[in-house]
């Protein structure tokens, strides 16, 4: 069944992707009332997430934020779709790195880097900044359940220079690169939902008790690599700017969870500044109710 769905869908995706972005943005404008009013795609989740994250806002403000998010969300859908056929040169014009000297300096120092990203603005297009330095551009990802779509999106990202590594192979890849004397930056998406059995750390994020992955912190302490945050700023429709923010050049001697709290707080600040640009459709707090109930039963 996975193969049937894939082979029926992919030709349609290719045809849509071949349309100019200006036409795809018209499609986004058409999709907005469909996804927000008619289909109401994950609308209950979005509204609940916004209400819990911004308890000081009135209901009319929450709904206005939701409307702005869905406009951004539909733009994001067509932009990611366009990645299938957009040329690297065109994408490079639309996704600029404002401070390439940060990565270049790490390379001159013969240091690999752990880059912390999030589902904020177009994280997929940010793969295009891989030419900013001579590091190997490693993107860590969580494989999709459908192996056909998983490989399809792997190839799409690899077209733009990224080397895709499944999350469970991260440390093995880092060890191999070290043994071969290769310098790389390893990009992680930090705000993915955790599973109950693997959750080891909870913090307050956007006014809610939130489980957070510790993988980036553990990897930093194991390797000694510096840690930097990838901030994506939306300039205008279809154009973004990436800034690499240094977090820790030296991770030795840090307090437990200091690395994790640092990147969580930066993301939180970015979301508070431009809340419509984060991915509110995620079930980010699906484990929180269970954790709160567990705390009450103790």
pLDDT tens-digit series, residues 52-95: 999 999 999 999 999 999 999 999 999 999 999 999 889 999 99
Q: Helices in 84-209 by DSSP H: which ranges?
A: 88-94, 101-108, 147-158, 170-179
Residue 297 has pLDDT above 70, yes or no: no
93-114 pLDDT tens trace: 999 999 999 999 999 999 999 9
- Residues contacting 150, CB < 8 A, separation 6+: 143, 144
Compute how many other C-beta atoms are within 10 angstroms of the C-beta atom of residue 88. 12
SS percent in the chain: helix, strand, coil, step 5: 55, 20, 30
Beta-bridge partner residues of 186? 114, 138
14-23 pLDDT tens trace: 999 999 999 9
pTM: 0.93
Give pLDDT, residue 293. Answer: 76
Beta-bridge partner residues of 236? 239
Give pLDDT, residue 298. Answer: 61
What's the number of CA atoms in the CB half-sphere (13 Å) around residue 287?
Answer: 18
176-221 pLDDT tens trace: 999 999 999 999 999 988 889 889 999 999 999 999 999 999 999 9
Give pLDDT, residue 142. Answer: 87
pLDDT-derived band at 145, boundaries 50, 70, 90: confident
Give pLDDT, residue 179. Answer: 94
Q: Which long-range contacts (CB under 8 A, 24 or more apart) does 52-58 make?
A: 52/206, 52/207, 52/208, 52/285, 53/206, 53/207, 53/208, 53/271, 53/275, 54/206, 54/207, 54/275, 55/207
Residue 238 has pLDDT above 70, yes or no: yes
51 backbone dihedrals φ, ψ, rounded to 5°? -60, -45
Give pLDDT, residue 131. Answer: 74
């Amino acid at each position: 069944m996975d193969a049937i769905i894939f082979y029926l869908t992919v030709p349609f995706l290719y045809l849509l992707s071949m349309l100019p972005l200006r036409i795809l943005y018209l499609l986004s404008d058409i999709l907005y009332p469909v996804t927000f009013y008619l289909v109401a795609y994950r609308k209950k989740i979005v509204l609940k997430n916004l209400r819990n994250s911004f308890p000081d806002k009135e209901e009319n403000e929450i709904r206005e934020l939701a409307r702005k998010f869905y406009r951004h969300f539909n733009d994001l859908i067509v932009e990611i779709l366009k990645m299938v056929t957009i040329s690297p040169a065109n994408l490079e014009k639309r996704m600029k790195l404002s401070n390439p000297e940060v990565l270049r300096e790490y390379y001159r120092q013969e240091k690999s880097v752990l880059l912390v990203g999030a589902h904020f603005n177009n994280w997929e297009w940010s793969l295009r900044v891989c030419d900013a330095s001579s590091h190997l551009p490693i993107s860590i990802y969580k494989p999709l359940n459908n192996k056909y779509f998983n490989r399809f999106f792997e190839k799409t990202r690899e077209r733009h220079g990224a080397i895709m590594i499944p999350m469970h192979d991260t440390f093995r890849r880092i060890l191999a690169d070290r043994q071969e004397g290769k310098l790389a930056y390893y990009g992680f998406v930090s705000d993915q939902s955790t599973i109950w059995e693997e959750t080891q750390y909870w913090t307050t994020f956007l006014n809610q008790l939130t489980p957070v992955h510790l993988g980036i912190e553990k990897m930093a302490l194991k390797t000694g690599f510096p840690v930097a945050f990838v901030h994506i700023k939306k300039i205008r429709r279809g154009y973004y700017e990436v800034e690499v923010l240094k977090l820790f050049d030296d991770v030795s001697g840090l307090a437990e969870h200091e690395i994790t709290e640092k990147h969580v707080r930066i993301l939180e600040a970015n979301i508070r500044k431009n809340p419509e640009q984060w991915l509110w459709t995620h079930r980010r707090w699906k484990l929180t109710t269970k954790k709160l109930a567990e705390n009450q039963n103790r």
